[in-house]
């Protein structure tokens, strides 16, 4: 593992442009459960509650579940070491962009600036009537479904429901990252969710090196990953940051095994 950490740090120091591609696994150590897997949210809740058609037709029923999942679980979450390391990498000029599948706002709370959210953000609500947006902190969820102060329309969390398109800005940023990055740093995503799971494959086809941080092998590990760093995101990123920020640049172009 130590040798892999050193090689990963070397790749990151030499990279002209690095993109981090993050999923639910990076936020587990912040207290947010993953959606999939044995302990996933969808084992407890019916994912139909987040289908856009169901939400529009049954807003109160959907909002009861949405409030419990996203505004009880998420409100207490704070950035962990992995989020903080990525923010420091950006500050040090070692990370150009974050493409995240998460909606928890933890990257921004950690200090990251160049964050593109594939699935939106739970911190805002949008009116389905007039498109006005509100910080969720400005809207009481004591009475649900919440409604717009301007037009009385239904308010919806500003993240992507099943049946909605991915924001074009995030898609464009992801495809651009896949074309210009020397290194993709995958953290905490198993590669099961389309179309986000296609971006590392596109990056790889463009000659990008892939560093993967996951607790278990993923759909990327045996197909595109060059260096697999197995472990919890916070632990691995802490070790990687120690090597990355402490070691001088090595100009020897060693190959990755």
Tens of pLDDT, residues 26-57: 999 998 876 655 556 666 777 788 899 999 99
- Tell me the CA distances in angstroms from 207 to 171, 180, 197, one per residue in order: 20, 10, 17
In the chain, % of residues over pLDDT 90? 77
What pLDDT is recorded for position 48? Answer: 84
Assign 191 a pLDDT band (cuts: 50, 70, 90).
confident
- Give backbone dihedrals phi and psi of 125, rounded to 5 degrees, phi first: -120, 145
Report the chain's mean pLDDT, rounded to a whole number. 90
pLDDT in tens, 109-162: 999 999 999 999 999 999 999 999 999 999 999 999 999 999 999 999 999 998
Task: Tell whether the model's pLDDT for residue 70 goes beyond 80.
Answer: yes
pLDDT of residue 37: 56
- Buried b / exposed e over 147-183, threshold 16 CB at 10 Å, is bbeeeebbbbbbbbbeeeebbeebbebbbebbeebbb
Mean pLDDT of 250-254: 41
The mean pLDDT value for 83-90 works out to 97
- Provide the pLDDT for residue 43: 67
pTM, two decimal places: 0.87
Strand 120-127 and strand 155-159: pairing?
A: antiparallel
Most confident of 68-77, 89-98, 244-253: 89-98
Rounded distance between C-alpha atoms, residue 210 and residue 200, angstroms: 8
**According to the model, what pLDDT value does residue 38 have?**
58
Residue 165 neighbours by CB under 8 Å, 6+ apart: none
Neighbouring C-beta atoms of residue 145, cutoff 10 Å: 18
More confident residue, 114 or 69: 114
Q: Quick one: pLDDT at residue 49? A: 84
Q: Which of these ranges, 21-25, 84-88, 244-248, has the smallest mean pLDDT? A: 244-248
User: Which entry of 21, 83, 107, 119 is annotated as an active-site residue?
Assistant: 119
Percent of the chain with pLDDT over 70: 91
Active site residue 83: no
User: Tokens for 88?
Assistant: 């420091």
Task: Kindly report the number of other CB atoms within 10 A of residue 36's CB atom.
Answer: 14
The whole-number pLDDT of residue 256 equals 43
CA distance 206 to 200: 10
Beta strands 120-127; 133-135: pairing state = antiparallel
């Amino acid at each position: 593992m130590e040798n892999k950490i050193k090689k990963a740090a070397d790749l990151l120091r030499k990279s002209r442009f690095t993109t981090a591609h993050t999923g639910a696994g990076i936020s587990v150590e912040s207290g947010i459960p993953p959606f999939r897997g044995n302990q996933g949210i969808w084992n407890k809740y019916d994912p139909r509650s987040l289908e856009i058609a169901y939400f529009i037709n049954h807003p109160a029923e959907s909002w009861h579940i949405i409030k419990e999942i996203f505004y009880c679980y998420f409100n207490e979450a704070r950035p962990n070491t992995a989020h903080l390391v990525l923010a420091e990498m950006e500050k040090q000029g070692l990370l150009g962009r974050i493409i995240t599948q998460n909606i928890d706002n933890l990257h921004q709370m950690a200090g990251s600036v160049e964050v593109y959210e594939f699935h939106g953000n739970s911190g805002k609500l949008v009116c389905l009537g007039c498109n006005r947006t509100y910080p969720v902190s400005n809207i009481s969820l004591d009475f649900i479904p919440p409604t717009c102060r301007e037009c009385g329309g239904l308010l919806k969390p500003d993240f992507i429901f099943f049946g909605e398109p991915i924001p074009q800005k995030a898609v464009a940023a992801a495809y651009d990252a896949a074309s210009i990055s020397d290194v993709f740093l995958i953290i905490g995503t198993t590669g099961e969710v389309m179309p986000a799971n296609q971006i590392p494959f596109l990056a790889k086809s463009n000659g990008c090196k892939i560093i993967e941080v996951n607790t278990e092998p993923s759909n990327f590990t045996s197909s595109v990953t060059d260096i697999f760093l197995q472990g919890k995101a916070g632990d691995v990123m802490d070790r990687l940051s120690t090597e990355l920020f402490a070691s001088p640049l090595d100009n020897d172009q060693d190959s990755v095994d």
